[in-house]
Amino acid sequence: MGYDAFVICNCFKEGKTEEPPYKELVELDDEGVHLEIEDLYKQDEEEYFKRHREFENWKRTACPHEDMELVSEHLSNISGMGAFRSVLNELDGEKRFPILSKYLPVANTGTLPTECASQFLKDLENLEHEQSKEEKAVLKLKLSGERIQSVNADQSNIFMWSAYDKQNYGINKDGFFIIENRKFLWKRLPILAFQSKDFKQVLVGKDKYRFVDNKTNKQFTGMAKIYPIEDEDPQEDIEFYVDTETMTIGIEYDYMIKPLKKLTMASIESGNPIIWT
C-alpha cells in the first residue's frame, strides 16, 4: 500500500481546453472532470466503455497538465507514512503542527480543504526546520550503503508480508528479522525465525531465498527477497547490515515534507483541495 496525492488544474473551469466529447454529460468537482454516464452501463455496456475511452483520450491531452492534474506526487509507502506519523506524535504534533496532524492521510481517500492549505504549509515549514534528533535503526546494502528501510530505534517495523501472511520481514535495533507465523491447533503462533545485523541474501529457487548470518552462519529460508524491488531474481548474493544512526528530524523526513509542500503550494495557487489517493 502506498500514499499518493494530486491537485487538479483550472484549465477546464477557465475554458482553456478543447471541447470535450459528450460535453452535456461532463461534470467538474474537486477531484477533476468526469463523464457522468453510470446509468448507461446497464443499458449498453459496449457504448459505456466506448464513451469512457473517448473521454479519457481527450482528457490526457486536453491541456498542458497530464490528466488535468496541476501537481501529482507520490508520498510514501505504508512504512514511510507510519514513521512520519510516529515522529509527529513524538513531537507533540497535535499542538505544534495541528493542521498537518489532523489532515495527514490515514487511508487512500479524503482531502485537505483549500481553506486549510496555508496553515498546513506553515506546519510543514516549521517541521522542515526542526533540529531535534531521532535515533534510527537502518537496514542498508553493504556494498553501496543504500538505505532499504529504517525505523525509530525504540520501535520495530514490519515492512514486508509474504503470501497468506506466513512470514513477516522487519527491522529493529537488534537487526533485520523474520517472523514465521505457524499454526498450532486453532492458534497462530508468531515465531522469531531469524535475526541478524550482518547477513546475506542467497537465491535458492523460485520464491525461495536463504538468509545467512555472516558471523554465526545461522540460516533461514524465506519466501521473499529484500532486494532488489524489481521482479527479476538477483543471481549474486547480496549482503546487508543494520546500524543505528542519529538523524536530524527536519532532514530525515524530507521525503514526505518536500512533496507535501509542492502539493500545498499548488492548492494555494489554484484554490483547489489536495486529494489523497
Give the integer Cα–Cα distance in Å for 193 and 187.
18
* Res. 134: pLDDT tops 90: yes
**Each residue's pLDDT tens digit, 223-264:** 999 999 877 778 899 999 999 999 999 999 999 999 999 999
When pLDDT is averaged across residues 142-153 and rounded to a whole number, the result is 95
pLDDT score of 32: 93
pLDDT band at 4 (very low <50, low <70, confident <90, very high): very high
* Res. 268: pLDDT tops 90: yes
pLDDT score of 225: 94
Task: Cell numbers for 160, please give them.
Answer: 514486508
Task: Cell numbers for 82, please give them.
Answer: 507510519
Q: What is the DSSP string of the chain?
A: -EEEEEEE-STTTTT-SPPPTTGGGEEEETTEEEE--HHHHHH-HHHHHHHHHHHHHHHHHSSSSGGGEEEEEEEEEHHHHHHHHHHHHHTTHHHHSHHHHHHS-SSS--EE-GGGHHHHHHHHHHHHT---EEEEEEEEETTT--EEEEEETTS-EEEEE-GGG-EEEEEETTEEEEEEEEEETTEEEEEEEEEESEEEEEEEETTEEEEEETTT--EEEESS-SS--SSSPPSS-EEEEEEEEEEEHHHHTHHHHHHHHHHHHHHHHHT--EEE-
pLDDT score of 231: 76
When pLDDT is averaged across residues 164-181 and rounded to a whole number, the result is 96
Type of residue at 213: D
Count of all residues that appear for the chain in the document:
277
pLDDT score of 186: 82
When pLDDT is averaged across residues 57-64 and rounded to a whole number, the result is 93
**Each residue's pLDDT tens digit, 10-33:** 999 999 998 999 999 999 999 999
* Res. 207: pLDDT tops 90: no
When pLDDT is averaged across residues 122-126 and rounded to a whole number, the result is 98
Task: Cell numbers for 98, please give them.
Answer: 495541528
Half-sphere exposure of 55 (CA within 13 A, CB side): 18
pLDDT score of 183: 86
How far apart, in Å, are the Cα atoms of 57 and each of 6, 20, 63, 199, 240? 20, 10, 12, 50, 46
pLDDT score of 163: 83
* Phi then psi dihedrals of residue 6, to 5 deg: -150, 165
pLDDT score of 188: 86
Distance separating the N- and C-terminal Cα atoms of the chain? 11
pLDDT band at 121 (very low <50, low <70, confident <90, very high): very high
Q: Which of 173, 241, 231, 238 is nearest to 201 (CA)?
A: 238
pLDDT score of 119: 98
pLDDT score of 106: 92
* Res. 1: pLDDT tops 80: no
pLDDT band at 90 (very low <50, low <70, confident <90, very high): very high
Mean of the per-residue pLDDT values of the chain? 94
pTM here?
Answer: 0.84
pLDDT band at 185 (very low <50, low <70, confident <90, very high): confident
When pLDDT is averaged across residues 65-85 and rounded to a whole number, the result is 94
